[in-house]
């Protein structure tokens, strides 16, 4: 596992270089390959088995003849006659569908420029939140696409887009995206709820990759508080709908981490989410990214949810 850790700085440099040379297929291939290796080593989900629901199935009589039984069930069993030979039945197990929703922050707050503007410092290199987010996003998708039945991607920033599939929002799109607009996580979650994603049958996983601070971008205290409270209400609703959620705030600058906007700072908002029972994993350093993602995945997948097949 040390190989991928040693090459993370090189991966970050390639992600930084790619937007200026988007037709370089060799560079693109290396980025995806390294993110795929990170996913294989740290984000494997093959140990997770979707829950099953057992039920008995009785086969219809095929009208192939007449059946006449002149013994009681007790006599049949005592003389070695199997009841299954008389009543055609079998026990089957249904595997729940595995639904993933991946909400990705493409607001201005995810760039190195925005937190730096708010704290008076530039955040670059291994602390660049935009690069960390791109590596995390591709690695997560490389992991979940191998085991998921359905993946819905929602991006938010200047606009709310989605749900999209991997063909509609590709890795190239992720690498070329530049953050714009406000962090309106509330609108991204509202999009999923409007489409009743939380009511789908089966197992539902929600991963939120964000700059960590929902806000309107207008410096209006009451509006920012309303946005943050709405996010908390939506996430609490998701919990009640038995959605397994993982909250991944990208917080790479300590000054920005504790800067209050509305009711919370990015770090206190993540702590508030953790208190309602949602696993959170703060992405703060490139070298720690694989371990933090792995721990977050394990927390999300190990959440005990009683899922009914007949919702």
Q: Whole-prediction pTM value?
A: 0.79
Which pair of tokens denotes residue 51? 């829950």
Residue ranges per structural domain of the chain = 2-47+96-301, 53-95
Is 23 exposed, middle or buried, given 0-12, 13-18 or 19+ CB atoms closer than 10 A?
Answer: exposed
Strand ranges for the chain from DSSP E: 52-58, 89-95, 98-105, 150-156, 160-164, 203-210, 243-249
What local confidence, expressed as pLDDT, does residue 47 receive? 47
What local confidence, expressed as pLDDT, does residue 243 receive? 93
Q: Taking 70 as the threshold, does the pLDDT of residue 76 lie above it?
A: no
Segment 12-34, tens digit of pLDDT: 999 999 999 999 999 999 999 99
Is 125 exposed, middle or buried, given 0-12, 13-18 or 19+ CB atoms closer than 10 A?
Answer: middle
Angle between helices 185-194 and 221-240 (to 10 degrees): 40
Segment 193-237, tens digit of pLDDT: 999 999 988 889 999 999 878 998 888 899 999 999 999 999 999
Q: Range with the lowest mean pLDDT among 34-43, 60-69, 105-114, 241-250? A: 60-69
What local confidence, expressed as pLDDT, does residue 132 receive? 92
Spatial contact of 290 and 259, defined as CB atoms under 8 Å apart? no
What local confidence, expressed as pLDDT, does residue 189 receive? 96
**Where does 2-47+96-301 sit in CATH, by number?**
3.40.50.410
Q: Any idea of the CA torsion for 39, 41, 47, 51, to the nearest 10 degrees?
A: -10
Spatial contact of 100 and 171, defined as CB atoms under 8 Å apart? no
Segment 131-151, tens digit of pLDDT: 999 999 999 999 988 778 889
End-to-end Cα distance, the chain: 41
| Residue count of the chain | 311
Q: Range with the lowest mean pLDDT among 65-69, 155-159, 169-173, 275-279? A: 65-69
What local confidence, expressed as pLDDT, does residue 259 receive? 86
What local confidence, expressed as pLDDT, does residue 149 receive? 85
What local confidence, expressed as pLDDT, does residue 66 receive? 57
Identify the bridge partners of residue 99 per DSSP, sorted by sequence position.
Answer: 150, 204
What local confidence, expressed as pLDDT, does residue 74 receive? 64
What is the phi/psi pair of residue 92, to 5°?
-125, 160
What local confidence, expressed as pLDDT, does residue 302 receive? 80
């Amino acid at each position: 596992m040390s190989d991928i850790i040693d090459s993370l700085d090189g991966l970050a440099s390639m992600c930084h270089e790619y937007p200026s040379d988007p037709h370089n297929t060799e560079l693109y291939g290396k980025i995806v390959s390294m993110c795929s290796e990170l996913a294989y080593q740290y984000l494997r989900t093959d140990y997770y088995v979707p829950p099953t629901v057992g039920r008995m199935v009785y086969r219809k009589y095929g009208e192939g003849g007449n059946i006449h039984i002149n013994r009681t069930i007790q006599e049949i069993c005592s003389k070695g006659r199997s009841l299954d030979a008389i009543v055609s039945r079998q026990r089957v197990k249904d595997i729940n569908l595995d639904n993933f929703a991946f909400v990705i922050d493409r607001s201005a707050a995810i760039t190195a420029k925005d937190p730096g503007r708010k704290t008076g410092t530039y955040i670059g290199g291994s602390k660049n939140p935009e690069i960390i987010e791109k590596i995390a996003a591709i690695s997560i998708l490389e992991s979940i696409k191998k085991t998921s039945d359905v993946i819905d991607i929602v991006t938010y920033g200047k606009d709310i887009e989605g749900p999209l599939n991997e063909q509609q929002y590709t890795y190239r799109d992720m690498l070329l995206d530049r953050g714009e607009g406000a962090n309106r996580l509330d609108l991204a979650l509202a999009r999923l709820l409007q489409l009743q994603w939380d009511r789908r049958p089966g197992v539902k996983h929600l991963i939120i990759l964000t700059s960590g601070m929902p806000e309107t971008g207008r410096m209006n205290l009451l509006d920012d508080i309303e946005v943050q409270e709405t996010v908390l209400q939506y996430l609490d609703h998701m919990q009640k709908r038995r959605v397994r959620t993982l909250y991944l705030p990208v917080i790479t600058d300590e000054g920005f981490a504790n800067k209050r906007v509305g009711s919370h700072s990015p770090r206190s908002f993540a702590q508030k989410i953790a208190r309602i029972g949602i696993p959170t994993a703060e992405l703060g350093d490139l070298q720690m990214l694989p371990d933090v993602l792995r721990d977050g995945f394990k927390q999300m997948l190990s959440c005990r949810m009683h899922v009914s097949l007949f919702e």
